[in-house]
Amino acid sequence: MLPHEIVIRRAIELAKLGAGSVSPNPMVGSIVVMDDKIIGEGYHQKYGEAHAEVNAIQQVLDCFEDAEELLKRATIYVTLEPCSHFGKTPPCADLIIKYQIPRVVIGALDPFESVNGKGVEKLKNAGIDVITGILEEECKTLNERFFTRVQKQRPFVILKWAQTADAFFALENGEQKWISGEEAKRLVHLWRSQEDCVLVGKNTALADNPQLNVRLVHGRNPKRAVIDKNLDLPSHLNVFDNSIETFVFNAVKTDFQDKTLWVSIEDFDYFLPQYVLFQLYLQDIQSVIIEGGAQTLQTFVDANLWDEARIFRSPAFWGSGIKAPQIKGNIKEQISIGQDQLTILKPNK
C-alpha cells in the first residue's frame, strides 16, 4: 500500500499550481488511488470553479470506462477537508458520497466555520473511512494565507524592502535610487503575482511613482493600496491610473471612482495598521505585500502585524540616508539573488 505521506506530498505539489488564482479560496490538491496506482489527479485551478476533488474524480471518469466501479474501490486523498456546504460550487463531500468512494485521507481540517469538521462528519455518517492529519503542518503551511484570514480576520502580511549593506533604506532628499539588482526586481514582480494586494505609503508613492504591477513576469496584477492621510498625492501618479483596483486609505473621505476606492479611517494616528488590515479583510483580500516606505513598514512591525518579512541586502554602502526598518524574527531562509542577499524572517513565537 502506498504510504499516505507520499500521496499527500504529491497532492501538495498539485495544490501549489493554483497559487495566485484561487484566493480567497485555499489552494487544494487531490489524488484518487486504486490498488496502489494513481488513477486521477486534480487541483483547485481558479476561484469560483471546480474544487480539487471534483477535478480528480472527473479525470477518473474521463479516462476509464469502468470509472464508477473503480471509484467504489478507491481512496481519495485531499490536502484540505472536503467542503460540506454550498458556496460557489456544490459540496465536495456530497460528490465523494455519490460515487461511494470508501476511504478519504485528509491533510488538514478546514478552519472555515461552515466546514470545520463538518465535512469529515458528513463522510463518516455515510459510512466512509476517514483518516486525517497526514502531513498536517505542511498542509497548513501551504494555506497559511487562508488560515490567517479565517482565524485572525485579517490578511496574511508580507513585509518587503531592500537595504544597503550599512542598513540604509532610501535617500534623505526623497529622490529615487535603486538598491536591489534586476534579479531581485523580477522576483518581486513574481511575488506580486502570487498575492492579492500590494501596499505602499504616501512618500513611496510620491518618490518612486510605482505602478505596483507585474510587468516583468507573466501573471495577474495584484490590487493596489496606498496610505495618504490628507489626500496630498497628485492625481497624475501611476497608482491613480485606474488600470488596477486601488484602495486609498485616508482621513478625509470614503468614495469611489472607476477602479479607485477611497477609504476613510477615523483613528488614523493610533490604530492605522489594524484598520487598514480590517478594511482589506472586508474586501476579501487574503494576502498583502507591504513594500514601503520605511515608516509604513515600521508601523506594521511595531504593531506586531506581520507574518513574513523578505529583506534584500545589497553590497552597496551609502554612508547616510533613511535607516531601514528594525525587525526581529526567526530566519526561515537565506539565499543569494543576483548581487543581493535575501533573508526571509518569520515572527518569533
Q: Are 316 and 170 contacting, i.e. CB atoms less than 8 angstroms apart?
A: no
Specify the DSSP class assigned to residue 172.
T
152-163 in b/e burial notation, b at 16+ Cβ within 10 A?
A: eebbbbbbbbbb
Is the Cβ–Cβ distance between 31 and 7 less than 8 Å? yes
To the query of whether residue 175 is one of the catalytic residues in this protein, the response is no
Q: Give yes or no for a contact between 219 and 232, defined as CB atoms under 8 angstroms apart.
A: no
Locus of grid cell 551609502: 318
Rounded Cα–Cα distance for residues 8 and 28 (Å): 11
- What element of type H or E holds 101? none
Catalytic residue among 41, 53, 291, 308: 53
Cα end-to-end distance, the chain, whole Å: 38
DSSP 221-262: PPEEEEE-TT--S-TTSGGGSSSS-EEEEESS--EEETTEEE
Measuring CA to CA, how many Å separate 262 from each of 123, 124, 210, 236, 240?
A: 46, 48, 18, 16, 11
> Helix, strand or coil for residue 315?
coil
3-state SS, residue 23: coil
Q: Which secondary structure element, helix H or strand E, spans residue 11, and what is its range?
A: helix 4-15
Q: How far is CA 135 from CA 6, 128, 255, 276, in A?
A: 9, 21, 46, 34
In 3D space, the residue among 255, 294, 251 whose CA is nearest the CA of residue 276 turns out to be 251
User: Do 221 and 241 form a contact (C-beta atoms < 8 A)?
Assistant: no
C-alpha cell recorded at residue 321:
540616508
Catalytic residue list:
53
